[in-house]
Amino acid sequence: MRDYLKINPEVNEALARKQPVVALESTIISHGMPYPENVKTALACEAKVREAGAIPATIAIIDGKIIVGLTVAEIELIGQAGETVVKTSRRDLPYVISNKLNGALTVSGTMIVSALAGIKFFATGGIGGVHRGAEITMDISADLEELAHTNVCVVCAGIKSILDLPKTLEYLETKGVPVLGYQTDSLPAFYLSTSPYKVNYQLKTPQAIAQLAKTKWDLGLQGGIVVTNPIPKALSADPELIDQAIDQALKAMQAAKIQGKESTPFLLKRVAEITGGQSLQANIALVLNNCRLAAEIAKAYWNMED
C-alpha cells in the first residue's frame, strides 16, 4: 500500500494519536466549481475544519500517487486543471494510478481512500444517487454502493437535488444505510434546507451521531452512514428558481446526450449558469457548514474512544 498512498505528516500524526481527522473530496475543486472559487472554497473548507478542532485531509491523486492531505500548491494544481483532471471513483482508481495521472476523487473514491488511511469522517457537499429517469438509463451513482459496505460517516447537505430523491432513499434503505438528519426530520435537498421526504432518524447533537456510528461499527455492521445537514435557511436558494433551473438543465443534458459520470458536473454547471450564480453561492455555504459539523462529530467520536 505504501507504493500507492502518501499521507501528509500532520494527518499521519493525528491518526496515530487518534485525534479527529476529516476527509475532504477533490471533485468539488476540479468539477464542482469554477476557478478560482474552487481553490478559495477548498482552503476555506480546511480552515473551517481546523476552527472546529479537527485536522483536514483533502484527498486526490497526483501523478498516480494517492495523496491524503493535499498541500496548498496541490490544491491549486487541481483547481487550475479543472475538468482535465480525471473524475475518479472506485472503477477509475486503478486506471488513474497505473497511468500516473491526476485524479479528483468522488464521494465513493474518497470513502475508499479514507477507509484505507483510517479516517472515519468525511465532509462533502451532497451525495450522488439515483438519477432522474434511471428506470430507463440505469444511471445510479457509485456513491450508493460504497455507502453500503465502506465504514465511513459522510456529512452532506443531503442528496443532490438534481437527482431522484425518493428512489435514492429507497436504494439506501435496501442497502441498510442509515440516513440521519442533524436537527431535522426533513431530508435536505442540497441547495434547499427541506424537501417533502423524511430522513430515517433525527439526531440533535454531534455526540448522538458519533454514538450511533460507534455502535454500528462496534456491532460489526459494515457500511457507511449518511448525515444530512441542512443548509442554513437564510442561505438556502429559492425553491422555484432551483426547480426551474434543474428542469432546464436536464433538458439540455438530454439534448447533448450526456450520460454517466459527466452528468452531475454538467447539471451543476448548467444550474449555476441558469440561476446567475445563486446555486454556486448556496453550494459554497452548505459545504462549509458540513465541514464544521463533520469536525464536531469526529471530535465527539474520538472522545468516546479515549
Grid coordinates in use for 134?
Answer: 434511471
- 133-181 tens-digit pLDDT: 888 778 898 999 999 999 999 999 998 777 899 999 999 999 999 999 9
Count of beta carbons in the 10 Å neighbourhood of residue 176: 13
- 244-265 tens-digit pLDDT: 777 787 778 778 877 766 776 7
Report the distance separating Cα 34 and Cα 15, nearest Å.
Answer: 32
145 is catalytic: no
Report the distance separating Cα 238 and Cα 145, nearest Å.
Answer: 31
- pLDDT for 123: 98
Which of 48, 120, 160, 216 is flagged as catalytic?
Answer: 160
Report the distance separating Cα 117 and Cα 126, nearest Å.
Answer: 22
Nearest to 181 by CA among 202, 164, 158: 202
Q: What is the DSSP letter of 237?
A: P
Query: Do 213 and 192 touch, CB atoms closer than 8 A?
Result: no
SS3 271: helix
Nearest to 273 by CA among 253, 232, 245, 252: 245
The pairing of beta strand 103-105 with beta strand 55-62: antiparallel
- pLDDT for 1: 64
- pLDDT for 210: 98
Using the CB atoms, write b or e for 244-261: b if 16+ within 10 Å. Answer: ebbeebbeebeeeeeeeb
Ranges of residues in the chain with a pLDDT under 70 are: 1-2, 260-261, 264, 268, 277-278, 306
Domain ranges across the chain: 5-305
- pLDDT for 277: 67
Nearest to 45 by CA among 297, 286, 300, 298: 286
Grid coordinates in use for 45?
Answer: 473548507
Contacts 24+ apart (CB under 8 A), 220-223: 221/176, 222/149, 222/150, 222/151, 223/147, 223/148, 223/149, 223/150, 223/151, 223/175, 223/176, 223/177
Query: Do 121 and 90 touch, CB atoms closer than 8 A?
Result: no
Count of beta carbons in the 10 Å neighbourhood of residue 212: 18
- pLDDT for 306: 60
pTM, two decimal places? 0.91
Report the distance separating Cα 128 and Cα 264, nearest Å.
Answer: 8
> Could you give the C-alpha distances from 233 to 6, 52, 181, 189, 222, in angstroms and in order?
39, 21, 15, 12, 34
CB within 8 A of 153, min separation 6: which ones?
120, 121, 122, 209, 213, 224, 225, 227, 294, 297
- 169-197 tens-digit pLDDT: 999 999 999 999 999 999 998 888 889 99
Burial class (CB in 10 A: 0-12, 13-18, 19+), 213: buried
Report the distance separating Cα 23 and Cα 26, nearest Å.
Answer: 10
Grid coordinates in use for 85?
Answer: 483532471
Best CATH choice for the domain 5-305 from the list 3.40.50.200, 2.30.40.10, 3.40.1790.10, 3.20.20.70: 3.40.1790.10
| Region label for 24, one of left (φ > 0), alpha (ψ between -120 and 50) or beta (otherwise) | beta
46 is catalytic: no
